[in-house]
Structure 1
């Protein structure tokens, strides 16, 4: 990314925009007035901060440069995709393909392609796999993850504070990740330990990976003497709420829910959160 403001961009540039704690890549569709949109045409969110212009896209080991002479082609592609996405039949076909790929019908094929997964606590030597997964799936900074793994999560049992769990394939690549730790690490005035960043890659979904990650973290929290574990989930994330409830999490008190939302509101988050908790050793 090349750091710059809106004034240094042109139509067809891809820019990185920060909205509260969320980072999104958007295409500049107009400079007078200055407007951006997603490739599928979603309108720009107000109040976002432009961090800079994207100069390359990376996916795993692949890196695709975005030279500025390609701006007209990218702008045309954005308009074409947005127009197609506006048609109900296009969205219907997309949902059908997506639902099949992530359904139980495709699970044997996905399981064969992914191979067996081992869910375990991450160690210091898993740093490269974690940072690669984070670059593709998470909005957490690499420096934060590197520091936490080195100074808290990846230590020996007697020294470990908090923990991170991953679902790794035979080649050591991560297909799922979550961590449990104190929010004090991020400056939020919330007590106890909380499950964070529970993310499973699309190819490994509906294979029980999320519940295994949670079970691994709950066991470690209990070993560290934590009586309970909390979690906060976007209220519109029904799938994640079901996952937590399957492993015994229940809605927290109104007082804790209110304190949690107030703490995140002060940090700039806009979505309403549902707070859950359960005993670590149950």
Structure 2
């Protein structure tokens, strides 16, 4: 039920007896591209002594659960399909199957050699800038304008609207795939501010395909919620999934947030964007945003530098309709 405290999955698994099989959703997209956020894993509860090289292990690293390939057993080391070894964690069990919707992929122990060799090959290739560049260009080509008619039929009618409390699960799945914002922050803000009964503070907007899957998101909130000394409401985390790009989704998301700001009596809203993100800057400019004063841009970068940010930002602002 929406609004109930989240279950501590790691504690739940650790409390389960050896030999028990559990279906869990919450390992994120740690085994991408085989596993995406929102998918489930079947875990056989066991200790590290039952794991072999090439198995997929469920490991707790801090408060996170990850499902990665075992690349060494002495000591136990796991790694993603495309990455390097993980920090030391606590092994909780062996993943025996993956589930994506109605599709279930068993992972019998016969696949150990294939998974181990596949992980070695994939991580080696992915470590090369040329391979990553080729993959990005192929992705950009696949989701460029030529494929829009096909994607429109695939996605169906897109609904863009303000998020409600019952959208929490869809938001957390999308966040695991696309956002750098923590799930705990999104949960707290959606239930406590953006969709609060009796009067929202700030807002969040989402785009949903015909199947109810979120394919775009943005929120409007005060930076003081994150400890930064910047006044006003700021558009944050404007992200559209590749499958829904070049379909006007970002434009409509900003429209939802502008309307929410108008209803809340805001005279002006702001946004900040990486200085080299030409596409995002163009999107905001087309929605009526203009570059903020040099003083505000300086303050934004100073606040982000103090909080550990590294990339230079530009700040934009827009007067809300009705306050010109």
| Structure-1-length-normalised TM-score | 0.74
> Greater relative contact order: 1 or 2 (C-alpha under 8 angstroms, separation 6 or more)?
1
Question: Conserved in 2, the CA contact under 8 Å of 1:60 and 1:132?
Answer: no
Question: Is residue 236 of structure 2 the alignment partner of residue 196 of structure 1?
Answer: yes
| In structure 1, distance between residues paired with 2:67 and 2:298 | 32
Q: 2:313 maps to what in 1?
A: 273
Superposition CA RMSD, Å: 4.2
Question: Conserved in 2, the CA contact under 8 Å of 1:16 and 1:54?
Answer: yes
Cα distance, 1:140–1:59 mapped onto 2, change above 3 Å = farther
Question: Is residue 118 of structure 2 the alignment partner of residue 77 of structure 1?
Answer: yes
Q: Decide which of 189, 210, 213 is 2:253's aligned counterpart.
A: 213
Question: Conserved in 1, the CA contact under 8 Å of 2:230 and 2:300?
Answer: yes
Q: Decide which of 98, 114, 123 is 2:139's aligned counterpart.
A: 98
SS in structure 1 opposite 2:266?
Answer: coil
Question: Conserved in 1, the CA contact under 8 Å of 2:155 and 2:210?
Answer: no
More off after superposition, 85-94 vs 248-257: 85-94
Question: Conserved in 2, the CA contact under 8 Å of 1:60 and 1:136?
Answer: no
Superposed CA deviations along residues 33-78 of structure 1, whole A, max 9, x for unmatched, are xxx998667x99xxxx988889879896589899999898666434
Q: 1:134 maps to what in 2?
A: 175
Superposed CA deviations along residues 172-231 of structure 1, whole A, max 9, x for unmatched, are 321111000111111111001100111111110110000100011011112211111111
More off after superposition, 235-244 vs 172-181: 235-244
| In structure 2, distance between residues paired with 1:241 and 1:65 | 45
| In structure 1, distance between residues paired with 2:105 and 2:303 | 39
Deviation at 1:232, TM superposition (A): 1.0
Superposed CA deviations along residues 90-123 of structure 1, whole A, max 9, x for unmatched, are 6686455323311111001111111111111111
| In structure 2, distance between residues paired with 1:26 and 1:265 | 33
| In structure 1, distance between residues paired with 2:278 and 2:143 | 16
Q: Decide which of 133, 147, 165 is 2:188's aligned counterpart.
A: 147
| In structure 1, distance between residues paired with 2:311 and 2:69 | 24
Q: 2:32 maps to what in 1?
A: none
Please list every run of 5 or more consecutive structure 1 residues that lacks an aligned counterpart in the other structure.
19-23, 31-35
SS in structure 2 opposite 1:196?
Answer: strand
- Aligned residues between the structures: 269
State which structure, 1 or 2, has the greater radius of gyration over its C-alpha atoms.
Answer: 2
More off after superposition, 147-156 vs 222-231: 147-156
Q: 1:166 maps to what in 2?
A: 206
Cα distance, 1:251–1:113 mapped onto 2, change above 3 Å = same
SS in structure 1 opposite 2:140?
Answer: helix
Superposed CA deviations along residues 133-189 of structure 1, whole A, max 9, x for unmatched, are 112211222222122111211135x61110001112233321111000111111111
| In structure 1, distance between residues paired with 2:70 and 2:285 | 41
More off after superposition, 83-92 vs 216-225: 83-92
Question: Conserved in 2, the CA contact under 8 Å of 1:164 and 1:217?
Answer: yes
| In structure 1, distance between residues paired with 2:286 and 2:261 | 18
Deviation at 1:132, TM superposition (A): 1.7
Question: Conserved in 1, the CA contact under 8 Å of 2:273 and 2:315?
Answer: yes
| Structure-2-length-normalised TM-score | 0.65
Question: Is residue 149 of structure 2 the alignment partner of residue 108 of structure 1?
Answer: yes
